[in-house]
Structure 1
Amino acid sequence: MKPVLMMLPGLMCDRTVWAPQIEALGDAVVTHVVDYEAATSITGMAEEVLRLAPASFAMTGHSMGGRVALEVLRMAPQRVERVALMDSGYRALADGETGEQEIAGRMRFVNLAKEKGMRVMGQEWLQGMVHPERRRDTQLCGDILDMIASKTPALFERQIKALIERPDATEVLRSVRCPTTFITGRQDTWSDVAQHQAMAALVPGSRLVVIEDAGHMSTMEQPEAVTQALRDFLFD
């Protein structure tokens, strides 16, 4: 029987992020990209995953989708056969000044989207999103900007609020018993290698795969390497 892979996109992302992997995995895997844009919290997004998923499934989450995957594991660990967390994190908003700075930084982009539109916001947001050399890749950057521009400022603000209010998943990671893989771009400055090493250390027997020459959008920046990592995750 083919494995069912629930694919959980990140902030302001959709099927575009996973398109190279969906095509490359082809008929070997049943893929389902979850649309949880109506949800107002990480928990609500996880509930939508569980509503759409079969009784037992594999799961991969990118960026915010990784946090959703961790919430799925908190809510229904018995249904998850294996999980891959990509370019993601696990801690709640920090207390004090650090947390306030994160909120201010996130809300600056929300306000920019409201004032100037999603594409203008995306052009600035993109600068920290991909490997510096990928910024010259007009096809890649155009695909990312088109995806962002297809969303609304209201959705952006809703998802930002969900991220600000994200639950801490430290104890979830400690409780994981299914095969687990962590994947991140070497040059991901938003969810760096050290953060993934810390997550992997909480899950005995887990695997860490670092994608070379890739930033936060590793699935699109280095699609072949990410596809191979997912094949290994699914079939090893």
Structure 2
Amino acid sequence: MTTKNLVLLPGLMCDAAVWAPQVQALSATHHCMVMDWGLTDSLTAMAQQVLADAPATFALAGHSMGGRVALEVMRLAPERVERVALLDTGVHPLAEGEAGAKEKAGRMALLSHAQRAGMRAMGAMWARPMVHPAVVGGPVFEQVLAMLERSSPAQFAAQINALLTRPDASPVLAGITCATLVLTGRQDAWSPPEQHQAMVDAMHAVRAELVVLEDCGHMATLEQPDAVNTAFARWLAA
């Protein structure tokens, strides 16, 4: 039976606008709830917030950092999740050694820039490599910058901490048994298709659908909303 409750989890420094095309497409048939992370600073606390606020059972979709939160929800209370969608995301913890130090330094440099120059100025630099090159400077890029401008350095700091302390979600994948959608953009340099294929390969007990969107970067829900909506329609009917 198709669920009527759909919980949507935004990624790093995103708000309800990142899911607006999906809410518009699905609101006639589904009660859509988009989470707001506020100053929550760990993925586990975010997952606990979802479980506290969501209906008893629900479909769950997470984008980017939200995908990691979705996997944490699956670890804590899989019996409450009727189906799960993981978009433009990953499962690995912060790398050890030089690679992990480089990621931390890069994130802290962005935070410092946001504190000095403001969130929009930081976003103009940060968001450029996240989207397909054709998107830069256009309406979708402006939507991304507007989301960042609505946030604050304090929120950024909290969510950076959540990502730097992220758990290894790899063990969760093998335990997923519900209908699953795994989706990314072909040009998503942050969360590339091969990373999502590996996630699907690890889901031994379920037939997960892998969708790779052409001409699409990391912000799939905004860059290719019609294609995401089509994939969601299949997933929700599975």
What CA distance in whole angstroms lies between the structure 2 residues aligned with 1:146 and 1:54? 30
**Kept in 1: contact 2:3–2:82 (CA 8 A):** no
| Ranges in structure 1 where 5+ consecutive residues have no aligned partner | none
Helix, strand or coil for the counterpart of 1:182?
strand
Which residue is 2:169 aligned to? 169
Note the C-alpha offset of 1:180: 1.1
In structure 2, distance between residues paired with 1:26 and 1:171: 33
Per the alignment, residue 125 of structure 2 pairs with: 124
1:105-144 residue pairs with structure 2 within 5 A? 105-137=106-138, 139-144=139-144
Q: Identity over aligned residues, as a percent?
A: 50
2:181 and 2:136 map into 1 onto residues whose CA distance is 28
Deviation at 1:54, TM superposition (A): 1.1
AA aligned to 1:161 is N
Residues 64 and 89 in structure 2, CA contact (< 8 A), matched pair in contact too? yes
Taking a change above 3 Å as real, the CA distance of residues 42 and 2 of structure 1, as seen in their structure-2 partners, is closer
How much does 1:26 deviate? 2.9
- For 1:9-41, what per-residue CA distance to the aligned partner results, in whole angstroms no more than 9, with x for missing partners? 000001100001111123111110011223120
Which residue of structure 2 aligns with residue 146 of structure 1?
A: 146
User: Over aligned residue pairs, what C-alpha RMSD do you find?
Assistant: 1.0
Residue identity opposite 1:198 in structure 2: A
Range with bigger deviation, 52-61 or 35-44? 35-44
Q: SS in structure 1 opposite 2:147?
A: helix
Q: Hey, what's the Cα distance between the residues in 1 that align with 2:36 and 2:48?
A: 12
Aligned to 2:35: 34
Residue 203, structure 1, aligned to residue 203, structure 2: yes
Which residue is 1:102 aligned to?
103
Provide Cα deviations, 1:189-216, integer angstroms capped at 9, x if missing partner. Answer: 0001011011111113111011111100
Structure 2 distance, partners of 1:120, 1:35, is 22
C-alpha distance in 2 between matches for 1:45 and 1:124 = 27
Structure 2 equivalent of residue 225 of structure 1? 227
Distance in 1 (alpha carbons) for counterparts of 2:131 and 2:3: 33
2:11 match: secondary structure:
coil
Task: Report the TM-score when normalising by structure 1.
Answer: 0.97
* Runs of 4+ more than 6 Å apart: none
Number of the residue aligned with 2:79: 78
SS state at 2:82 partner: strand
Could you tell me whether the CA contact under 8 Å between 2:3 and 2:59 is conserved in 1?
no
For residue 140 of structure 1, what is the amino acid of its counterpart? V
**Whole-Å separation in 2 of the counterparts to 1:196 and 1:222:** 18
Residue in 1 that maps onto 2:15: 14
Paired AA for residue 91 in structure 1: H
- Please report how far the alpha carbon of residue 2 of structure 1 lies from its aligned counterpart in structure 2 after TM superposition: 5.2
Distance 1:203 1:58 in 2: 18
Q: CA shift at 1:57, angstroms?
A: 0.7
1:105 deviates by 1.1
Instruction: Give 1:214's aligned amino acid.
Output: C
CA drift of 1:45 comes to: 0.2
Structure 2 unaligned regions, length at least 5: none
Q: Match for residue 218 of structure 2?
A: 216
Amino acid at match of 1:7: L
Aligned length: 235
Q: Per-residue deviation at 1:227?
A: 0.6
Amino acid at match of 1:146: A
Give the counterpart letter for 2:194 in structure 1.
A
Letter in 2 for 1:56: T
CA–CA distance in structure 2, aligned partners of residues 107 and 212 of structure 1: 32
Distance 1:214-1:84 versus aligned 2 partners, 3 A rule: same
